[in-house]
Amino acid sequence: MNQLASPLISRTEEIHNLPGKLTDLGYTSVFDVVRMPRERFIREHRADLGRSAEKMYDLAVGYAHQVLHHFRRNSLSEAVQFGLRSPFSVSGPDYANQFLDANTGWKDKAPSGSPEANDAPVAYLTHIYQLALEQEKNGATTIMNTLAERRPDLGALLINDKAINEVIPQLQLVNEILSKAIQKKLSLTDLEAVNARLSTTRYPNNLPYHYGHQQIQTAQSVLGTTLQDITLPQTLDLPQNFWATAKGKLSDTTASALTRLQIMASQFSPEQQKIITETVGQDFYQLNYGDSSLTVNSFSDMTIMTDRTSLTVPQVELMLCSTVGGSTVVKSDNVSSGDTTATPFAYGARFIHAGKPEAITLSRSGAEAHFALTVNNLTDDKLDRINRTVRLQKWLNLSYEDIDLLVTSAMDAETGNTALSMNDNTLRMLGVFKHYQAKYGVSAKQFAGWLRVVAPFAITPATPFLDQVFNSVGTFDTPFVIDNQDFVYTLTTGGDGARVKHISTALGLNHRQFLLLADNIARQQGNVTQSTLNCNLFVVSAFYRLANLARTLGINPESFCALVDRLDAGTGIVWQQLAGKPTITVPQKDSPLAADILSLLQALSAIAQWQQQHDLEFSALLLLLSDNPTSTSQGTDDQLNFIRQVWQNLGSTFVGATLLSRSGAPLVDTNGHAIDWFALLSAGNSPLIDKVGLVTDAGIESVIATVVNTQSLSDEDKKLAITTLTNTLNQAQKTQQGVAVSLLAQTLNVSQSLPALLLRWSGQTTYQWLSATWALKETVKTAADIPADYLRQLREVVRRSLLTQQFTLSPAMVQTLLDYPAYFGASAETVTDISLWMLYTLSRYSDLLLQVGKAGGAEDDVLAYLRAVNAATPLSQADAAQTLATLLGWEANELQAAWSVLGGIAKTTPQLDTLLRLQQAQNQTGLGVTQQQQGYLLSRDSDYTLWQSTGQALVAGVSHVKGSN
């Protein structure tokens, strides 16, 4: 039965936009609500009322108080009032009604908890603010940090709905107040000038703060990628160099662009980069430690050291790998004692000491209760290195141990950096490391092991990384020991066999995989002929590098080695980097990309990501790439049956004298001599008909015309002979080629339009393949008789068939590729080669067609565009932009901007790929082509305005993209 609800209940529901809720819950009066304890009401009705439960209860309490006050009268006062009532029907104004007091007036007009209530936070804060001002008046204002100085915004703050309800992040508020204080202190014109000053200020060491850089970092964290990965398409030939790591030569432009992108991938601001790479100047202490009067002796006092570095004593001990009790560096017991000893200048604080003896030590003096700590053996150079180390730890959020290991491993991989100095290679290393850290979760110790060696040291009480890798399984009774002794890696018994099993088990390798890695390592660091290696740190680290890198990229060891073989291309450069001792060198003009281990690692990651994005199994990928199969070259029964089918169907199509005599061509010349057309057309070095009756690749019309015109025939008979012979041989050739086409199409499961193109793509004509197949008839009786060269040619056709299926290539595309290889970035000489770059190009062509399809276009439109822009009179830039805008579903003005990236209109599929990547980057980030180019050119030498505009563009772009999703 429905009951009428109190107007106050209805009003409460209306205020909180929950009509009928309280009534449905059984509350018809505010007194029904307040009878229940507040906590119980909230607990029971949270699910129905949500966050409004508390406010609705408090409002009901307020209404209940007002109702009680209105009706609270005792009988005596009511009687007196009745006896002295006014002659007027309505009472006039009185003091109580006109001047409400605190007890019975205003507090009941504002429910508890409302902004205007006396017990609301606004009233409390206003009271506190006024109290603070009063106390400031009564205090010593000359030495006081007044509220007006600390919070200049409060005095001008208008208390209204916006001020009450606006939520401002605490960090934003702190930044605004701090910025205004800096602006006033340094007499700067505006907040932009404050930000510019902060971007180059180094002390304290939580500076510099670069606003544009911070915006970029914030946007990147939302995107899950980096500006450098986004703008990679701007370097036009860089993707190709990733796929041709050993044989490809870098141009000067590409080398400098790659270096810049790797440095910028460190994610450091310009001033941060300068701190890492600069040479120390005379103002070092002022810039980095905030006081020009400081000297190296000042930092001997631990209080000065901790104050100026913003570190605690335990943090200083971790950084220096030393305590009052001595060094905290420990060395694995499973490494030869002849190797480097465990000292801070050998590990942990090696960079700080430049790898030189006389380590920094800590000592204590004074009474036990009031002792002082002293830092000994400091120098200006060590304090410079401490400054860099402290800042790197803050920026990278890694342990001091990991930072030292990373930077010194990179320095060891450089040529000639015996002083262990930081430089651009340090930043490049950090850029590539951050990429692997973000994409694959690679740790600093892993990455350092790839660059140099698996660390045999640790900071107590940790276990050395070497033992974590090779002695943590617990399978063996004795640990694996680096003893610098030669061993035969093919043995499976004895001490050498145990060593092999140790390495295999630790790295998760089977015996075949181990031997594959061992052979490649022996070619670089051992004797592959005698199957011997030396069990030293470099050899063991090479095993780790190959196995761990393959696992990181999601590739099995066999496929990884096959991929490296492909990238190496017989040069030895790639294998030297991975199986030998890696080297770091700045990318240079005319140098292969693989000459630098950092660039090689970047290329390997790019290839692995491409493979994953296109769902390409590495085994299938390598099958497509391999033109020298390692499997046996002996034929199979299926292949023999296929060949026999060709023989069976081809025999009836041969051209002979009988067929030509029935063609309708004259058989006698004007002199009465018989004409043997078969003999005439099968004679010479380039006959039109070969000895078995196959029509060759010689031009039918031209050869027939030449032969006929040499005969003694009337003009009419010559014309008749040319026509009839041409028709007969064209039909015969079509029939013969039809045998090849139909059988290949059926066997390869492709359309009838593809086999002839596949044969041409593999470097042979249909006639050549038919001739080679028929030639086997006399010698091939079993599958084992099939010649290896024929099998190789057959396999080339199969490879290209698989390519068309893998990337959904149409006959029209293959025809265009073969007729105009330049459209696809190839040449007539290279179009038949199946390389990694070719696979990448074909995959991106497939991606291009997907995008065109989404925009309502078709492949014919793409091929028509390629013909139009490569014509003798090509399209104008405006027409090309408009055509592609329709094809790609993109804005024409963005394509016009892209012409400056390409240096002209797009004429090839690699250039169309660049456009596609620019479009995809815009969809991902919201950055237009011009803004992407601006981000691509960003460097530490760019001015503050460019950094700021890039950061603003990226933040705005991300907001747009995320808001529209």
- Residue range 445-468, pLDDT digits in tens: 999 999 999 999 999 999 999 999
Q: What is the pLDDT, as a whole number, of residue 701?
A: 92
Mean pLDDT of the chain: 88
pLDDT at 165 over 50: yes
The last residue of one of the domains, among 801, 832, 863, is 832
Is the pLDDT score of 302 beyond 50? yes
pLDDT at 107: 54
* Neighbouring-strand partners of residue 907: none
> 3-state class of 674 per DSSP?
strand
Mean pLDDT throughout 90-116? 58
Assess whether 143 and 105 both reside in one domain.
no
Dist. CA 23–CA 7, nearest whole Å: 11
- Predicted local confidence at residue 938, as pLDDT: 94
Kindly state whether residues 341 and 442 are assigned to the same domain: yes
**Residue 514 confidence class, pLDDT cut points 50, 70, 90:** very high
CA distance 479 to 456: 14
Question: Which H or E run contains 815?
Answer: helix 811-819
SS3 65: helix
| Residues 10-27 pLDDT 10s | 888 888 888 888 888 888
Query: Could you give the 3-state DSSP secondary structure of residue 487?
Result: strand
Please report which confidence band the pLDDT of residue 103 belongs to, taking 50, 70 and 90 as the band edges: low
Per residue in 351-409, pLDDT (tens digit) is 999 999 989 999 988 766 677 899 999 999 999 999 999 999 999 999 999 999 999 99
Q: Is 650 found in the same domain as 605?
A: no
pLDDT at 88: 44
* 27/149 same-domain check: no
The answer to whether the beta carbons of residues 760 and 818 sit under 8 Å apart is yes
Instruction: Tell whether the model's pLDDT for residue 541 goes beyond 50.
Output: yes
For residue 290, how many other CB atoms are within 10 A of its CB?
15
pLDDT at 121: 72
Environment class of 783 (CB within 10 Å of its CB; exposed 0-12, middle 13-18, buried 19+) = middle
Of the residues 432, 451, 470, the one at which a domain ends: 451
What integer pLDDT is reported at residue 112 of this predicted model?
A: 64
Structural domain includes residue 174: no
* pLDDT for 81 beyond 60: no
Of all helices (H) and strands (E), which one includes residue 707? helix 700-709
**Rounded to an integer, what distance in angstroms lies between the CA atom of residue 262 and that of residue 596?**
12
Q: Is residue 250 part of a domain?
A: no
Residue 56: predicted pLDDT: 86
The pLDDT of residue 830 is above 60: yes
Q: What is the DSSP letter of 296?
A: G
pLDDT band at 964 (very low <50, low <70, confident <90, very high): low
Least confident of 179-183, 344-348, 356-360, 892-896: 179-183
Same domain, 824 and 838: no
- Model confidence at 560: pLDDT above 80: yes
Please tell me the predicted confidence (pLDDT) of residue 1: 39
Q: What pLDDT, on a 0 to 100 scale, did the predictor assign at position 946?
A: 94
Per the model's pLDDT, the better-predicted residue between 527 and 174 turns out to be 527
pLDDT of residue 435: 96
Highest-confidence range of 113-117, 123-127, 277-281, 434-438, by mean pLDDT? Answer: 434-438
Is residue 564 helix, strand or coil? helix
823 and 687 together in one domain: yes
Find the domain containing 56 and state its range.
7-109
850, 822: one domain: no
Helices in 870-928 by DSSP H: which ranges? 877-888, 892-902, 909-925
Return the higher-pLDDT residue of 153 and 318: 318
- Can you give the pTM of this predicted structure? 0.81
Q: Dig out the tokens for 542 from the structure.
A: 């090479």
Q: Which two tokens stand for residue 168?
A: 């401002």
| 490 shares a domain with 375 | no
Per-residue pLDDT at 126: 80
| Residue 74 sits in the same domain as residue 133 | no
- Could you tell me the two tokens for 655? 């051209």
Return the higher-pLDDT residue of 246 and 417. 417
Q: Is residue 229 assigned to a domain?
A: no
Could you tell me if residue 387 is inside a domain? yes
Has residue 857 been placed in a domain? yes
Exposure string over 812-825, b if 16+ CB within 10 A, otherwise e? ebbbbbbebbebbb
Per-residue confidence (pLDDT) for residue 820, from 0 to 100: 95
What does R_g of the chain's alpha carbons equal in angstroms?
42
Cα separation of 862 and 869, whole Å? 11
Query: Which helix (H) or strand (E) is 326 found in, with range?
Result: strand 326-327
Of the listed ranges 105-114, 293-302, 315-324, the least confidently predicted one is: 105-114
Pairing assessment for the beta strands 486-488 and 361-365 based on DSSP bridges: unpaired
Q: Write down which residue in 451, 466, 497 finishes a domain.
A: 451
Same domain membership, residue 796 and residue 745: yes
- The pLDDT, as a whole number, for residue 41 is 86
Question: Are 427 and 276 spatial neighbours (Cβ–Cβ below 8 Å)?
Answer: yes
Residue 374: per-residue pLDDT: 93
Question: Where is average pLDDT lowest: 94-103, 192-201, 243-252, 378-387?
Answer: 94-103
Instruction: Report if residue 939 sits inside a domain.
Output: no
Distances (CA, A) of 962 to 222, 821, 872, 929: 9, 41, 45, 19
Confidence band for 87, pLDDT divided at 50, 70 and 90: very low
Amino acid 473: pLDDT: 67
Look at residue 282 and tell me if it is in a domain: no
Residues 554 and 591 in one domain: yes
Number of domains, the chain: 6
Lowest mean pLDDT among 78-87, 905-914, 941-950: 78-87
- Which residues are within 8 A (CB) of 604 and not within 5 positions of it... i.e. 6 or more apart? 549, 553
Same domain? For 696 and 737 the reply is yes
Helix (H) / strand (E) element for 136: namely: helix 121-138
* 203 neighbors 287 (Cβ within 8 angstroms): yes
The predicted structure's pLDDT at residue 300 = 94
In Å, what is the CA distance from 212 to each residue of 133, 195, 708?
38, 9, 81
d(CA 950, CA 936): 10
The secondary structure of residue 196, as a DSSP letter, is H
For tokens 């990238």, the residue is 567
Q: Whose CA is closest to 197, among 211, 217, 213, 177?
A: 211
Q: Mean pLDDT: which of 62-71, 663-672, 907-916 is highest?
A: 907-916
CB count within 10 Å of CB 657 equals: 15
Residue 531 has pLDDT above 70, yes or no: yes
Q: In the chain, what percentage of residues exceed pLDDT 90? A: 64
